[in-house]
Amino acid sequence: MAFRIYCSALITDGHRYEQRALVVDKGQVVAWEPYEPELLARVEPPDVDARTYIALPGMIDLHIHGGFGRDMMEGTPEAIQYIAQRLLRHGVTAFLATPLTAPWDAIRNCIRAAREVREHGSTGARLLGCHLEGPFINPKRAGAQPPEYIRPPSIRELETELGELMSELRIVTLAPELEGGLELTQYLTKQGIIVSIGHSDATYEQTLQAIEHGARHATHTFNAMRPFQHRDPGLAGAVLLHEELTAEVIWDNIHTHPAAAQLLVKAKGVERVLCVSDGTTGVGMPDGYTFELWGHRAIVQQNAARMVETGGLAGSTIAMDACFKHCAAALSWEVASLLCAANPARALGYEGELGTLRPGARADIILWNPHTQRVEYTYIDGILHHFESETAGDSNSVVNLNL
């Protein structure tokens, strides 16, 4: 049955529209209707009174490893479902499960579990496939990726180790400057898999070669990449300058200074940058919480995860709603929604379907409370999902109630 969500405003595709009702039918946004607040005394079910909230398209996280004390590398559908359910509270309605550099059997288990969740349906945020981060990366720019499992790029090895699981891959992060890197870039591109340059020491010139071979994306820009210098612009300089590459940014104000993130948006434009969380097991966990990255201890400290051995950053402890807030504080809610919803959707080929509230899109909607700066309600396919407590182990419930 069709219903309307009456919002104080709706923000989508870089614009803001005041006093709109979103008309939702059969899981899709089918229309917007302006309304006069003074003429609308009551909102009756099944319509939804969200007149104090702003409606936004659900956010899409293309780079997330875990959260809430769980890790996708546990390799079970249950772990992925647990994370997917808790992402809803943070306004994330779709994501890519992101295995990291690890033994191949662990990577396989993670991708296999993700396939099972995708085929049977997530009970939380939609799972769109996998982003394989490593193992074909540069040891010089390993960051928190366990160095002992890094491998030289090899088409043969990838085919042999993953076999039919290759079809789950949507993005592969690799270092194209390594021997075999360009061949692998070309091979993956031909399969329709997005090659993202990351954990890479590529020079500016090597990056241009990678673009020629099909690379189209850059992994957590500025982090774990050859930096910009005016006589050696490096991978970071190429990301800033070349529009072929969409650029991930971890906008937690820790991995990236807000000025650097703004510089990136200024250089590339508001449509070529996208926020990712790079969230780890430590997302939503308190200071002092420790977890393991394949034999290396990490600890949550002041809104970041750090390697116990080195003190280096070990991924983030935030979800996309934090990126959204930081970006909105520096730029605007309209731009923040582009970076967190529309741009990641377009990068994966879901333009018009996800990451937008235009009529015809899936009704993946979040209701944002502008006073508390929190996501209050999340809809997937037009169905309202109750939020789970972030630490409890009980399962998610789906309801169809008026607010």
- Residues contributing to the site for Zn ion (CB under 5 A): 133, 278
Smallest gap from Cβ 3 to Zn ion, in A, equals: 38
**Tokens describing residue 249:** 């940014």
**Tokens describing residue 37:** 């607040």
Name the percent of the chain in helix, strand, coil, to the closest 5: 30, 30, 40
Other Cβ atoms closer than 10 A to 287: 11
Q: Which is nearer to Zn ion, 177 or 278 (CB)?
A: 278
Q: Which sign does the torsion angle of CA 360, 362, 363, 369 carry?
A: negative
Q: Using an 8 Å Cβ cutoff, are 60 and 72 in contact?
A: no
Choosing from 61, 278, 321, 364, the catalytic residue is: 278
Diameter of the chain measured on Cα atoms: 68
Smallest gap from Cβ 184 to Zn ion, in A, equals: 19
- In the chain, the amino acid numbered 42 is R
Smallest gap from Cβ 287 to Zn ion, in A, equals: 21
Smallest gap from Cβ 403 to Zn ion, in A, equals: 35
Q: Which is nearer to Zn ion, 168 or 278 (CB)?
A: 278
What's the count of helices (H) and strands (E) in the chain, helices before strands? 10, 21
Rg (CA), the chain: 21
Q: Which is nearer to Zn ion, 294 or 387 (CB)?
A: 294
Residues linked to residue 59 through DSSP beta bridges, in sequence order:
92
**Tokens describing residue 166:** 């290759």
Is 105 marked active-site?
no
Smallest gap from Cβ 335 to Zn ion, in A, equals: 24
Q: Which is nearer to Zn ion, 133 or 201 (CB)?
A: 133
Q: Which is nearer to Zn ion, 62 or 328 (CB)?
A: 62
Q: Which is nearer to Zn ion, 133 or 252 (CB)?
A: 133
């194209």: which residue's tokens?
176
Residues linked to residue 34 through DSSP beta bridges, in sequence order:
20
Smallest gap from Cβ 50 to Zn ion, in A, equals: 34
Long-range Cβ contacts of 42-48 (<8 Å, 24+ apart): 43/4, 43/6, 45/401, 45/402, 46/1, 46/3, 46/402, 47/3, 47/4, 47/5, 47/6, 47/21, 47/402, 48/3, 48/4, 48/5, 48/6, 48/402, 48/403
Beta strand 48-57 pairing with 3-12: parallel
Smallest gap from Cβ 249 to Zn ion, in A, equals: 13
Integer Cα distance of 159 and 167 in angstroms? 11
Q: Using an 8 Å Cβ cutoff, are 81 and 117 in contact?
A: yes
Q: Which is nearer to Zn ion, 56 or 314 (CB)?
A: 314
Which of the 8 DSSP states describes residue 340? I
Please identify the residue of the shown chain whose CB is closest to the bound Zn ion.
278
- List residues with catalytic annotation: 278
